[in-house]
A = this chain, B = another copy of it.
């Protein structure tokens, strides 16, 4: 499709709800929706350890409505989903490690809250389009590469299991009640707005933090584990495209990156783009080794066929834009007390 034009004509004036809208993906999505002319309401409860950060929307805060609410709050969500045309359901507990320490909170957010969101839509807004953020973690350790949507799912941590259940509720409600839900299974996403204050939301933000602080990056295992990754602009483009068509109703899609790199290669690229930095290869900490999945990269052919999506931002460019953002906005992502 002539992408920009058709997305604009679809989203202009459209009433969109973004759960987790102050987080990394949510805030970037809000920015894109505002540019396309959508009416945007954010739901975010700013749970301290999670990714919500008001600075992520400081440039658009007068053009969006922010509801400080938790997706676990059934009555509030019941009200807030009413009348929306598109819901981007991005709120979630995303830390694999945290899910093993406190499986119940992960269950409440990633399962129960998803059910109550869907029940609320079924009761009062059955035609709304719902986009769910799934994760490659659902596949567990790949049996073949690249991983496509026919691959067995066998999550290796509580978060992967609960995200899987959350996704299936969406697809079930689509199949059973004719609701319009779609899941995108994200691979490693990166870019401006990531949480940097702890290392429990994936390796990329943690490595970026290490670069900013001038500390050595610790690579676990051999560093040969392969990964693909998507710059946030491409991830948001996938959500926007999937949200703008009926063709994706009831379907599940992988995202994926064209550049498959080892952790070592990734780190060397990051250091090169940053103009400095260092790393060391160290054994896995036990709690990380247990849930490591080896090599992973995905096929996005199904999504391309349905929406024309493909990743456009090369890794070096994405990393350069990411580092530039954090260098300019550093104090909003790294506490003064954390500075060396």
Q: Is A331 an interface residue (CB 8 A)?
A: no
Q: Which of A146-176 contact B (CB under 8 A)?
A: 150, 152-158, 161-162, 164-165, 168-169, 171-172, 175-176
CB neighbours of A261 from chain B (8 A): none
> What distance in Å separates the Cβ of A38 from its nearest Cβ neighbour in chain B?
30
Contact of A169 among B150, B158, B168, B172 (CB under 8 A): B158
> Which of A3-11, A100-108, A202-210 participates in binding chain B?
A100-108
Chain copies in the assembled complex = 2
Q: When the two chains form their complex, are residues A157 and B176 in contact, meaning their CB atoms are under 8 A apart?
A: yes
Smallest Cβ-Cβ distance to A151: which chain B residue: B152
Q: Is A58 an interface residue (CB 8 A)?
A: no
> What distance in Å separates the Cβ of A153 from its nearest Cβ neighbour in chain B?
7
Interface string of A138-150 (1 = CB under 8 A from B): 0000000000001
Some 11 contacts from A to B, beta carbons below 8 A apart, are A103-B115, A107-B107, A111-B165, A154-B171, A155-B168, A156-B172, A157-B176, A158-B172, A161-B172, A175-B290, A176-B291
What 17 new A-B contacts, CB under 8 Å, besides A158-B169, A162-B165?
Answer: A103-B169, A104-B112, A104-B115, A104-B116, A107-B112, A107-B115, A111-B111, A115-B158, A152-B152, A152-B153, A154-B171, A156-B175, A161-B169, A164-B168, A165-B165, A176-B290, A176-B291
